[in-house]
Amino acid sequence: MFGERLARAIAEHGPLCVGIDPHEHLLESWGLPATAAGVREFALRTVSGLKGRVAAVKPQSAFFEQYGSAGVAALEETLAAAAEAGILTVLDIKRGDIGSTMGAYAKAYLDPASALAADAITVSPFLGFGALEPAFALAAAHGRGVFVLALTSNPEGREVQHAGGSGDSVAGHIVAQVADRNAAALAEAGEVSAGLGPFGLVVGATIGSAARDLGVDPVDCGGPILAPGVGAQGAGIRELRDVFGPAALASGQVLATASRAVLGAGPEGLAAAADELNRALIGES
């Protein structure tokens, strides 16, 4: 089950997940062109430099897709390289659709037969939580994970995610739905009282008191939590503890994501930057 695999990876390598976001300014700082070839080199160097150092990497699909078929091929190579290096992959695609279209997305990113398959993906529930069923079903069948957007840090997200207010928010509904999915998955696996389920949430590390204000506890989802916003966006261990509580960090439930704070160190410095940030996230000096 994906939750178990992730918990083991966090226990071994720490809670850091590095986002592979090849922005043009980062490509330039690495001496690489803003082309598919540049993105490929950037991503493969990142994977190589982080081998044995982090629990997961999170390629942002859009930065590859913008270069067309060659960019998608680079993404395929990146996912394969991470698998070869023993690093879990969370493919940040934020797909969300209905019916056969959602089923096709699920096959593209969760079916082991696809060259684009990752260990886990991000999805958007805002066409209705039940519309994500093809992703949940395929993830469960193949030991993969799904992270559902719940409380993101962008200001625009509030108008949808906070709708309904305290005690009846959209975000709270999403947490409850994910919790139900995980309870069912764990019960089917005979693990009712132990372990993380395969389905998680995306909750920004910089949301501050937003979850508390809405009466929502993301930890209740029973699965892993992907927490972007660490490092350059301002979140550290204090902010993570504020949002999720110390127990969630100690249990390995929270996968803290940073990109620029690591990638900005360049190909020669990213390993040391990742090590330093990982130590900070587990409270070591």
Active site residues: 94
Strands 16-20 and 254-258: parallel
User: Are 139 and 198 within 8 A, CB to CB?
Assistant: yes
If one counts every other C-beta atom within 10 angstroms of the C-beta of residue 68, the result is 10
**Cα–Cα distance, 109 to 72 (Å, whole number):** 12
Pull the structure tokens for residue 43.
Answer: 């991503």
Angle CA 136–100–147, to nearest 5: 25
Residue that has been written with the tokens 């930890």 in this structure:
219
**Cα–Cα distance, 56 to 64 (Å, whole number):** 18
- 3-class SS of residue 148: strand
Residue that has been written with the tokens 């930057």 in this structure:
273
> Per DSSP, which regions of the chain are E strands?
16-20, 56-59, 88-95, 120-123, 145-151, 199-203, 225-228, 254-258
User: Are 252 and 56 within 8 A, CB to CB?
Assistant: no
Name 161's bridge partners. Answer: none
Residue that has been written with the tokens 């490509």 in this structure:
27
**Cα–Cα distance, 211 to 104 (Å, whole number):** 33
Whose CA is closest to 161, among 129, 133, 130? 129
Residue 119: half-sphere exposure toward Cβ, Cα within 13 Å: 26
